[in-house]
Amino acid sequence: MTDELGSGPGAGSGTRHAVVVGGSIAGLLAARVLADHAERVTVIERDRYPEEAEQRAGVPQGRHLHVLLESGRQALDQLLPGAVDELLAAGAPRVGMPEDVVQWQAGTWFRRMDAMVDIITASRPLVERVIRRRVLADPRITAVEATEAVGLVGDAARVRGVLVRERGAGRGGEPRVIGADLVVDASGRGSRASQWLSELGAEPPYEETIDTGLAYATRVYRHDRHADDTDAAGYFVVPNPGQPYSGVALPMEDGRFLVTLSGLRGQEPPGEAEAFEEFAARLPHPVLRDWMAKAEAVSPVYGFRATANVRRRYDRPGRRPAGFLVAGDALCTFNPIYGQGMAVAALTAVALRDALADRRRTPTTARVQRALLAASRQAWDISAGADKKMPGALGSAARPGLVDRPVGWYLARVQRRVGGDPEVGAAFRRAQSLTKPLTALFAPRVARAVLFRPEPATLELPPLWRDSGQG
């Protein structure tokens, strides 16, 4: 069986038509990359795209907090030059970490030291609109809206297209075939690619899962007096195995704030407005609840519970067809509380670009698929590594490995120093933002600080002002 990605001499010049299933961020960025290697690219999207930055049904988590990590910003700038500037011009806030936030983590308040990394805290609909308009302005890329993929065309040796059906046609609707030299599944967390591959006689991937049962709820607020209470842009209360509740308030465009509260299985935040604000009293300090009491709620409470970490191991050996790739959340999805999804979508698209452009190796399906999974590995290590320590974590990958205990001991020492030691804090922030590898936490200077330097003094009160004695 040949494993060439497209027809002809590899995907670089021989792929005539590429189809991307799923027109969200991961799918659009994949389409942008494929347009440089195919004569035409078709994006299959279940929704009808809104004209403006509006919520759509196909992104159920779209009403909730999203952040674009620094690594995602850098990757997006490579793929769509000017897109980040457009986001900022549209009012997307840029928040410096830890300088611009009041943060409680690992049992202490973080000092508001100079910013080490930035995050962009625009709403998900605004990010999608900016990306969508730029990608679909390319005449080589066409979006087929209100259409769902229902299967693959081909056999266990090669995928040759995708079966689609008009949305709303029901089971009686007649599917039609869109032929393709390459199909990319970017359909998200609910991907049905395993079923589709089985129907072709191919092997579905092994799935790794870790599920803490975390659920979260979000509400939009306005707080015109916010600047009178603090010069911070927002608040972070980060959970740990001994304190399972989380609360975050961050700005987005148009002067609004998103407030998200979360709890683990059996301790989920409520969907009723009054109970939502009462739930904030479970946090280890009343600072966020006090902020909410002074703010004006301008939306209902929206809940979300699909927060398991799931990694589908298409990189492992198995009988799978050439001409079929999986990307985005369909490949690897994370507990959203860590804010990695948009960054990993952009990093995966960069990995696709680099794998297809590598003149030293033929871009076979297997080789490119391994590159896509590798782009998500660090985010998985962070999210899954933290979640497997949480009480009640379940799943095929929830059991601690042999190295988890000594590494966990070291990382616990890191966490106790992040909030007050600039050197350790910088290494931690850069690894967490996916701009530096996790090995940066074990670099000699950082390790000396972690192993031999005393823990920095902790703050007794939240640092509401940057230049206060608590800051």
In a domain, 106, yes or no: no
Q: Which amino acid is at 308?
A: A
Is there a single domain that holds both residue 347 and residue 282?
no
In whole angstroms, what is the distance from residue 258 CA to residue 244 CA?
A: 20
In a domain, 271, yes or no: yes
In a domain, 366, yes or no: yes
Yes or no: say if 179 and 17 are a contact pair by the CB < 8 Å rule.
Answer: yes
Q: Which residue has the tokens 């979360």?
A: 262
- What are the backbone angles phi and psi of residue 148, rounded to the nearest 5°? -120, 145
Is there a single domain that holds both residue 201 and residue 244?
no
Q: Which amino acid is at 135?
A: V
Is there a single domain that holds both residue 146 and residue 160?
yes
Select from 20, 379, 397 the least CA-distant residue to 206: 397
Which residue segment(s) compose the domain that 163 sits in?
A: 15-66+128-209+307-383
Is there a single domain that holds both residue 148 and residue 179?
yes
Domain end among 259, 277, 304: 304
In a domain, 243, yes or no: yes
Domain end among 383, 412, 436: 383
In a domain, 378, yes or no: yes
In a domain, 138, yes or no: yes
Is there a single domain that holds both residue 140 and residue 197?
yes
- What are the backbone angles phi and psi of residue 199, rounded to the nearest 5°? -65, -25
Q: Give the helix ranges, DSSP H, for 323-443.
A: 341-357, 365-375, 377-387, 404-418, 422-432
Question: Model pTM?
Answer: 0.94
pLDDT by residue for the chain (471 residues), tens only, comes to 235 665 433 344 456 999 999 999 999 999 999 999 999 999 999 999 999 999 998 898 999 999 999 999 999 999 999 999 999 999 999 999 999 999 999 889 999 999 999 999 999 999 999 999 999 999 999 999 999 999 999 999 999 999 999 987 666 578 999 999 999 999 999 999 999 999 999 999 999 999 999 999 999 999 998 889 999 999 999 999 999 999 999 999 999 999 999 999 999 999 999 999 999 999 999 999 999 999 999 999 999 999 999 999 999 999 999 999 999 999 999 999 999 999 999 999 999 999 999 988 888 999 999 999 999 999 999 999 999 999 999 999 999 888 888 999 999 999 999 999 999 999 999 999 999 999 999 999 999 999 999 999 989 899 999 975 444
Is there a single domain that holds both residue 201 and residue 218?
no
Is there a single domain that holds both residue 20 and residue 140?
yes
Centre a 10 Å sphere on the Cβ of residue 263 and count the other Cβ atoms it contains: 21
Is there a single domain that holds both residue 277 and residue 319?
no
Is there a single domain that holds both residue 153 and residue 57?
yes
In whole angstroms, what is the distance from residue 175 CA to residue 323 CA?
A: 21
Is there a single domain that holds both residue 421 and residue 294?
no
Domain end among 304, 326, 342: 304
In a domain, 412, yes or no: yes
Yes or no: say if 147 and 165 are a contact pair by the CB < 8 Å rule.
Answer: yes
Kindly report, residue by residue over 5-16, the tens digit of the pLDDT. Answer: 654 333 444 569
In whole angstroms, what is the distance from residue 314 CA to residue 318 CA?
A: 8
CA dihedral 394→330→376→68, nearest 10 degrees, is -100
Is there a single domain that holds both residue 346 and residue 431?
no
In a domain, 278, yes or no: yes
Is there a single domain that holds both residue 286 and residue 324?
no
Total structural domains within the chain = 3
CA dihedral 431→432→434→439, nearest 10 degrees, is 30
Domain at 286, CATH number:
3.30.70.2450
Domain at 346, CATH number:
3.50.50.60
